[in-house]
Amino acid sequence: MRSGGGGTGSTAMWDVARPQGPSPLAGVTMAGFRDRRVLPVDLRVIPHPTVMLALEFGSGSTCVEDADGRRHHGSLVCALGTGSRGTVRVRGEGFELVQVRLSPVVARAVLGVAPAELDSAVVTLDDLWGREASRLREQMDDASSWGERFALADAQLARRAAAGPAVDPEVAWVWRRMVLGCGLVRIEALADEVGWTRKRLWSRFQAQIGLPPKRAANLVRFDHAVHRLVAGDGAAGVAADSGYADQSHLHRDVVALSGATPATVAREPWLAVDEIAWPGSGHPRRA
């Protein structure tokens, strides 16, 4: 396990821990965060093409305020693409948590419900897992290291995935093609390749992944684009390489999905910490 708080600026607000190796469950990545700022955290949530779990433990506290102004406390689930237009914020003080990123392909089995069936973008883990959620928190409280906590989370996720419903193989294949293609895919062509009609793919994909195919592909494209902006690439080059019609198109899309301009989103703490918590997590430059 390696850990670090980042160098300067926004990433210095946390101590960050990473597992020694990949999760035994495909489609799962995780990192540990410990707040060490004097002032409370107040962050804009940037949409991401995964379902995110925040497994809280310790004596600190976090609160996620959703687009309707509702406040959610404790361990939480954020649905695929949560945070559009900057309407979801995370606030907290002295918190400790393991953040898990679930591919939507495995999220259905792990959560016990299809992502599309979640009542809102943010739900408490207690609502989905009941006593299992509080028992996991107790075990993480008692653990003496990040390594133990990662192992506990992996074991819980693997148990649930083994017992939960799987997505259709065709849906899983289409999602992986979207990710490999950085969102630059034609939905009709993917439907043809799996032997489905466009209508059937649209229906099955939205029910099992949580977004319609076109919106899911756009989310993947956005994620790659904003991480290139964070890395210091110019907006014009990012727009051209990422399939946007022009720089104005990129600007509109970034504002619609994050609530911030490309220049502002490139400085967001939510994104800046990624290279520490999930190094090399897959934001390739397109030639």
Residue-wise pLDDT for 104-120, tens only, equals 999 999 998 888 887 66
User: Of 119-123, 198-202, 262-266, which gets the smallest average pLDDT?
Assistant: 119-123
Task: Indicate if 12 and 142 belong to the same structural domain.
Answer: yes
Q: Which domain covers residue 46, as residue numbers? A: 2-163
Task: Indicate if 6 and 122 belong to the same structural domain.
Answer: yes
User: Which of 126, 144, 163 is the last residue in one of the domains?
Assistant: 163
How many domains does the chain divide into?
A: 2
pLDDT at 97: 95
Task: Kindly state whether residue 11 falls inside one of the protein's structural domains.
Answer: yes
The string of pLDDT tens digits covering residues 253-280 is 999 999 999 999 999 988 988 988 998 7
Which residues, 6+ apart, have CB-to-CB distance to 269 below 8 Å? 10, 11, 13, 43
User: Which of 141, 163, 185 is the last residue in one of the domains?
Assistant: 163
User: Which of 163, 190, 225 is the last residue in one of the domains?
Assistant: 163
